[in-house]
């Protein structure tokens, strides 16, 4: 029987389809910069909630989108509070929000022209990709940190982000033909792999 962590890793590779895995050295760097990682993680959760609110505001006529994303807003904000509580438990300040170089590098790939459906598709895949990479990073932390408590802490986040990634893909399938969704998703995955391959390996950032 395969060890549980090995099974999780294999399952996530199959689900997420990321073309470039995170360098295993990242988790070692992150363990050295734990305060920075927790701070960055907290703001990532806050921005995830804000992104869902923004989609609801932009597409209030998309009933399925509104119904599916409304509880995610609450969940992501709850995650922010969980990470904030972890910082406080360790007597660490929240710190300042930092520029997210990874997300900023993804933004230019969003389609600006075309119809509403094409633009919505890209926004949903953009969110799905960020959730997928976050999930993969949480997996690294859940398997590689020395602290058993933090491994369990990040295991919970990993499971949640995998569900969010799937939700955004499913929403895209509701509003566009699946063949078009899959084709554009492959383009996003290829673009994201180029970005990750060219970024400096830093342990003070979640992405």
Q: Which CATH architecture has domain 28-198?
A: Up-down Bundle (1.20)
Q: How many CB atoms lie within 10 A of CB 62?
A: 18
Q: What are the boundaries of each domain within the chain?
A: 28-198
**Nearest to 201, CA basis, from 81, 24, 20, 18:** 24
Whole-structure pTM value = 0.90
**Nearest to 105, CA basis, from 31, 2, 16, 194:** 194
**Nearest to 4, CA basis, from 165, 159, 203:** 159
Q: Are the C-beta atoms of 206 and 33 separated by less than 8 Å?
A: no
Mean pLDDT per 10-residue segment, the chain (207 residues): 42 66 92 93 96 97 96 96 96 90 96 90 96 93 93 91 89 95 96 94 90
The 8-class DSSP code of residue 108 comes to G
Confidence at residue 3, expressed as pLDDT on a 0 to 100 scale: 41
User: What whole-number distance in Å separates Cα of residue 114 and Cα of residue 203?
Assistant: 38
């Amino acid at each position: 029987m395969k060890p549980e962590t090995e099974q999780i890793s294999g399952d996530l590779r199959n689900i997420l389809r990321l073309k470039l895995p995170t360098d295993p050295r990242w988790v070692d760097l992150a363990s050295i910069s734990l305060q920075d990682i927790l701070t960055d993680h907290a703001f990532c959760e806050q921005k995830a909630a804000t992104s869902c609110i923004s989609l609801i505001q932009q597409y209030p006529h998309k009933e399925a989108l509104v119904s599916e994303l409304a509880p995610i807003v609450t969940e992501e904000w709850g995650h922010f509070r969980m990470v904030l509580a972890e910082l406080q438990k360790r007597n660490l300040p929240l710190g300042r929000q930092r520029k997210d170089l990874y997300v900023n590098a993804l933004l230019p790939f969003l389609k600006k022209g075309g119809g509403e459906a094409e633009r919505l598709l890209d926004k949903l895949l953009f969110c799905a990709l960020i959730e997928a990479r976050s999930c993969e990073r949480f997996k690294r932390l859940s398997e590689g940190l020395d602290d058993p408590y933090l491994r369990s802490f990040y295991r919970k986040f990993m499971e949640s982000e995998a569900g969010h990634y799937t939700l955004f893909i499913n929403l895209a399938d509701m509003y566009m033909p699946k063949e078009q969704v899959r084709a554009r998703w492959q383009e996003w995955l290829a673009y994201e792999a180029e970005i990750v391959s060219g970024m400096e390996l830093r342990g003070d950032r979640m992405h």
